[in-house]
Amino acid sequence: MPRSDLPAPRLQSSPPYSLEKMTDLVAVWDVALSDGVHKIEFEHGTTSGKRVVYVDGKEEIRKEWMFKLVGKETFCVGASKMKASINIDAVSGFAYEYTLEINGKSLKKYMENRSKTTNTWVLHLDGEDFRVVLEKDTMDVWCNGKKMETAGEFVDDGTETHFSIGNHDCYIKAVSSGKRKEGIIHTLIVDNREIPEIPE
């Protein structure tokens, strides 16, 4: 026979941490844009139809109850407000596939195209890391997420785009390769030292 003088067991309604957030995270992408690398996270509650999109940890879209489990969510990424979409497709039964599109192209195609239209360098100055990106079509220069003030100059063998990082003189030299396939070669020079380019 149960003793009535014992305290009733305490029922805890919810765990102290959210299990829901951990189980609904279905996809994470890192997207390199001119202003930096952005992390896109997607939560999809396949029972509730919940959809949540985070860009760099900040919630961009939240839809709690969606009867349609497939579809598309569109949002913007980065300083240039690049258009991005997550496509949700049913593969079989309760399995789903999530694909990210940037500017209307699959992430893979976008990154392949980007490697043709941009150059990226990473350098270490005064104890800090800097990521410098040149957009070849506009000749815009970005450094750690900020568009730089630049000055263009014609030189004997090409052009130089000058800018500063702190008190360091920097310029990107554009020289014709002499080969049609390679086109123009861009080189970053900081304090008269050439910085190697990194593939993205």
User: Could you give the percent of the chain with pLDDT greater than 70?
Assistant: 88
How many angstroms separate the CA atoms of 17 and 26, rounded?
A: 19
Is residue 55 located within the same domain as residue 75?
yes
Instruction: Classify residue 136: in a domain, yes or no.
Output: yes
Of 91, 112, 133, which marks where a domain is finished? Answer: 112
How many angstroms separate the CA atoms of 27 and 145, rounded?
A: 24
CA-wise closest residue to 195 among 25, 187, 86, 101: 187
Q: Locate tokens 């020079």: which residue?
A: 189
Is residue 108 located within the same domain as residue 126?
no
Instruction: Classify residue 34: in a domain, yes or no.
Output: yes
Is residue 93 located within the same domain as residue 60?
yes
Of 67, 86, 112, which marks where a domain is finished? Answer: 112
pLDDT of residue 17: 39
DSSP 138: T
- Edge-first strand listing for the sheet containing 158-165: 151-155, 158-165, 168-176, 184-190, 193-195
How many angstroms separate the CA atoms of 56 and 71, rounded?
A: 23
Which residue stretches of the chain have pLDDT < 50? 2, 7-21
Q: How many domains does the chain have?
A: 2
- Tokens in use for 83? 């258009």
Q: Which domain holds residue 32?
A: 25-112
Of 81, 112, 143, which marks where a domain is finished? Answer: 112
Is residue 102 located within the same domain as residue 135?
no
Is residue 99 located within the same domain as residue 126?
no
pLDDT of residue 12: 43
Is residue 78 located within the same domain as residue 125?
no
Burial class (CB in 10 A: 0-12, 13-18, 19+), 88: buried
- Tokens in use for 68? 């349609």
- Tokens in use for 159? 């052009």
Is residue 38 located within the same domain as residue 91?
yes
Instruction: Classify residue 29: in a domain, yes or no.
Output: yes
Give the tens place of pLDDT for each residue, 63-98: 988 777 889 999 999 988 999 999 999 888 778 899
Q: Who's near 158: CB < 8 A, 6+ residues apart?
A: 173, 174, 175, 176, 184
Q: What share of the chain is helix, strand, coil (3-state, %, to 5)?
A: 10, 55, 35
- The predicted model scores a pTM of 0.75
pLDDT of residue 161: 96
Q: What is the CATH number of the domain that holds 38?
A: 2.40.128.180
